[in-house]
Structure 1
Amino acid sequence: MIFRQLFEPLSSTYTYLIGCEETGKAILIDPVIASMDRDIEELKKLNLTLEYSIDTHIHADHITSSLHLKEKLKSKIANPIVDKLPCADLYLEEGKPLQIGSIKLESLHTPGHTPGHFAYIINNTVLTGDSLLIDACGRTDFQGGSSEQLYISIHKKLFTLPDDYLVYPGHDYQQRFVSTIKQEKTRNSRLGNNKTSEEFMEIMKNLNLPYPKFIDYAVKGNQLCGVCPDDLPENLQNYCKQMTESYQG
């Protein structure tokens, strides 16, 4: 299996390129429109054909490139069934793996950050999106988020995975790349060390995070699988432009 972790610095988003060496087929998980040219170049370099673009959820901090990749590469769009986006070609469901060549993608519904959030398991690796981050988790104060639901998702689904499973998050803001289930169960400052649901909800209630500056544009654009609005303010236009620096993790 080919596995690449790619980083978009403006929104600190990780995109995952996963390819089947036998068939040359590939998937991209959480692709960002600002880094689309980089992703296409990486596919070409590895001699891979993109089969599906897949998002973990409807993002609030960047625009997905799923629709534009479909237009350019004739790939398909697969997204969580809970959101039922009309622009998707395939709805992913928990308990129904997606097979791409030798790649078996298993979906886990992990609501809390958003109601339709999914994590994805491939072999001994879990791509947790914005649900479980390294020593953190996604916020729960917008887009129908719920701290109570997120606690259940992480403890009943993600933390029940084998301890040695690798955790690859959807974001990191401190140049960290990978963790493990065991590490997050023991060291995650919000969820680890047997914190109770009440303790977790109190932590989340007191984060006092600022309102996401791109959310009002990103959510609408991502509900259409990646449409950049025409009315972006000048200070936000880079979110839809191709980045000159967008490196591999």
Structure 2
Amino acid sequence: YLDEVISSFPDLKVIIFRDSVSEIGGENIQGVDDHSQIQFGNLIIKVIHTPGHYDDSLCFYMGNILFTGDTLFIGRTGRTISLRSDTRQLYRSIYKKLLILPGDTLLYPGHDYGPKPYCTLKENIEISPLLCAVDEDDFVKLMEEYEQKRLS
């Protein structure tokens, strides 16, 4: 899909995880790392590398707003069913990087799969069993159960 966007908007500046730059190529591609900062006008956007759903997944944090892409949705996490997915990495990304943010952080996922398009981090923890794992092994088990329910 990114190829289509780039061909439709050739002057668009695209920001992706640094390890994926060579796969995409192009002059308007900018690679970023975990903890990078992007200036957008007067705004400073902090980059959070959140591998798991994909190895190059990124979230963008500014003020009390977190754009989570496919890492975290309302009511659940991203899935880990593709070849470039890793459930244990997703656990570390969510539990060690995102769930430590203030509870009033507003989450804006990449898709509207939940009961509403956005909510606070605190609200999301309250409605998502996947965000209440005791530890990494428990999270892996919860994710396996979630995928089994999707199949039935």
* Cα distance in 1, alignment partners of residues 53 and 38 from structure 2: 23
Deviation string, structure 1 residues 156-186 (Cα, Å, up to 9, x no partner):
0000111111011111234511111112233
Could you tell me the TM-score, scaled by structure 1's length?
A: 0.53
* Cα distance in 2, alignment partners of residues 130 and 82 from structure 1: 18
Counterpart of 2:96 in structure 1 is 156
Following superposition of structure 1 onto structure 2, how do residues 153-192 of structure 1 map, counting pairs within 5 Å? Answer: 153-174=93-114, 176-192=116-132
* Cα distance in 2, alignment partners of residues 75 and 131 from structure 1: 24
Query: Aligned pair 1:79/2:16, yes or no?
Result: yes
Partner AA of 2:50 in structure 1: T
* Cα distance in 2, alignment partners of residues 128 and 200 from structure 1: 19
* Cα distance in 2, alignment partners of residues 95 and 136 from structure 1: 24
Change (3 A) 1:170 1:195: farther
Do the aligned residues in 2 keep the contact of 1:130 with 1:169 (CA within 8 Å)? yes
State the aligned residue count. Answer: 145
Following superposition of structure 1 onto structure 2, how do residues 221-236 of structure 1 map, counting pairs within 5 Å? Answer: none
Counterpart of 2:81 in structure 1 is 141
Gaps of 5+ in 2: none
* Cα distance in 2, alignment partners of residues 122 and 78 from structure 1: 16
* Cα distance in 1, alignment partners of residues 8 and 89 from structure 2: 33
Counterpart of 1:237 in structure 2 is none
Specify the SS of the correspondent of 1:157.
helix
Counterpart of 2:137 in structure 1 is 198
Could you tell me the TM-score, scaled by structure 2's length?
A: 0.84
* Cα distance in 2, alignment partners of residues 171 and 119 from structure 1: 13
Deviation string, structure 1 residues 49-91 (Cα, Å, up to 9, x no partner):
xxxxxxxxxxxxxx245303432xx222221113223235211
Larger Rg computed on CA atoms: 1
- RMSD, aligned CA: 1.9
* Cα distance in 2, alignment partners of residues 200 and 175 from structure 1: 22
- Identity of counterpart residues, as a percentage? 28
